Amino acid sequence: MTDAPQFVAPLIADLVGDAALAAHFSTDAEIAAMLRFEKALADAQASCGMIAPAAARVIADACDAFAPDLESLAAGATRDGVVVPDLVKQLRTAVGAAHGGQVHLGATSQDVIDTSLTLRLKEIASDIEARLRGLCDALAALAERDGGKGLMGHTRMQRARPITAAQKIEAWRAPLVRHLVRFDEMRPRLFVLQLGGAVGDRADLGAQAQAVADHMAQALGLASTPRARHAQRDATVEFGQWLALVCGSLGKLGADVALMAQNEVAEVTLASGGGSSAMPEKNNPVKAEILVALARQAATLAGGLHHALVHENERSGAAWTLEWLLLPPLVVATGAALRNARALIGDLSFVQSMPPFP
């Protein structure tokens, strides 16, 4: 993958980007997922008798061997607003005259693009979920080790009453556990096949429409719905809000650590902080600050994503494109936040500042 995007300046991509999650938005990954769609479509149509089994085999082989003309794709995307018309044209040529016309049969660009995104969101979400679980475990281990230490509780930026490190850690961990529950709840809404054709009613798929959809969904590991959701963007937007909830909760962790790491407060120490070009003796709570920055970036992007719900008619070029502009950096921000949080917890030791409770 030579074109992995990072959505942040390359010099700070290891700091505030996330190569693993960003890779799902590379050209390779996008096209591979689109080809999975076309292959599954042909296969489903063959098994429903809409196209010949031989056609499906040739299409499958062409998808497996496909090497796109990237320059042509980029030009196509710029002209059409979507990459699919040019991709389908290339794929039909690769399939050959005999069966080329059976590629993409009864489907439309949005079917390919939305399903391709969903297939990748499934991998993305699985990675995020694993990181969330790992972070919850790391927090539980930290509580096990340091939880009994006495700290000063602070309310409204003033010393209040003693608490324990366990309480602090619980305030970080409990929302993450709830985020995992939320994710399970939204899963059936999110991982859904999009298949609707030109205006979303599957008209060109005829009587076999639902059977084709069911077959494809099964093959792709997605849920099948009785209708396409072309202009119904709630699942995507909901997922974006969930990402921002995760980032926001990690922003609270970051804000807390940055405050506790103040020299004057010194309720935590950090094994590896950042140095300064002017003051090499400093131990800056860089990862904690980054968590706050990423939380605010995610809040920003998620707020904008709500506007994508105002998706006019049977397909909105404007509202749909807005999703493409806001969701990928939001995914990357979440990945960066989870990675930084995990590293921060690894660095962190509580320093008892108050006698422990009886």
Q: Which residue lies nearer to its own copies by CB, 48 or 254? A: 254
Q: Which residue lies nearer to its own copies by CB, 53 or 326? A: 326
Interaction mask 9-28, its own copies, x per CB under 8 A:
xxxxxxxx--------xxx-
By residue count, the chain amounts to 358
Report d(CA 121, CA 202) in Å as an integer: 24
Closest contact distance (angstroms) between CB of 7 and its own copies is 6
What is the Cα gyration radius of the chain?
24
Closest contact distance (angstroms) between CB of 138 and its own copies is 18
Report d(CA 233, CA 327) in Å as an integer: 12
Closest contact distance (angstroms) between CB of 336 and its own copies is 10
Report d(CA 2, CA 136) in Å as an integer: 34
Binders of its own copies in range 58-97 (CB under 8 A): 73-75, 77-85, 88
Closest contact distance (angstroms) between CB of 99 and its own copies is 17
Q: What six digits make up the tokens of 216?
A: 């494809």
Report d(CA 159, CA 301) in Å as an integer: 34
Residue 292 binds its own copies, judged by CB under 8 A? yes
Report d(CA 215, CA 47) in Å as an integer: 8
Segment near its own copies (CB under 8 A); pick from 93-101, 127-135, 307-315, 344-352: 307-315
CA distances, 321 to each of 77, 191, 308, 326, 358 (Å):
12, 20, 9, 9, 58
Binders of its own copies in range 128-147 (CB under 8 A): none
Report d(CA 167, CA 173) in Å as an integer: 10
Report d(CA 168, CA 146) in Å as an integer: 11
Among 134, 150, 296, 346, binds its own copies (CB under 8 A): 296
Binders of its own copies in range 170-229 (CB under 8 A): 170-171, 174-175, 178-179, 182, 185-186, 189, 197-201, 203-204, 227, 229
Q: Which residues pair with 284 in a beta bridge?
A: 274
> 């493409």: which residue's tokens?
324
| Residues that are catalytic | 276, 315
Among 40, 50, 195, 251, binds its own copies (CB under 8 A): 251
Type of residue numbered 285: P
Q: How many residues bind its own copies (CB under 8 A)?
A: 145
Q: Which residue lies nearer to its own copies by CB, 53 or 342? A: 342
DSSP-derived letter for residue 83 is S
Q: What six digits make up the tokens of 33?
A: 């997922």
Binders of its own copies in range 329-348 (CB under 8 A): 329, 333
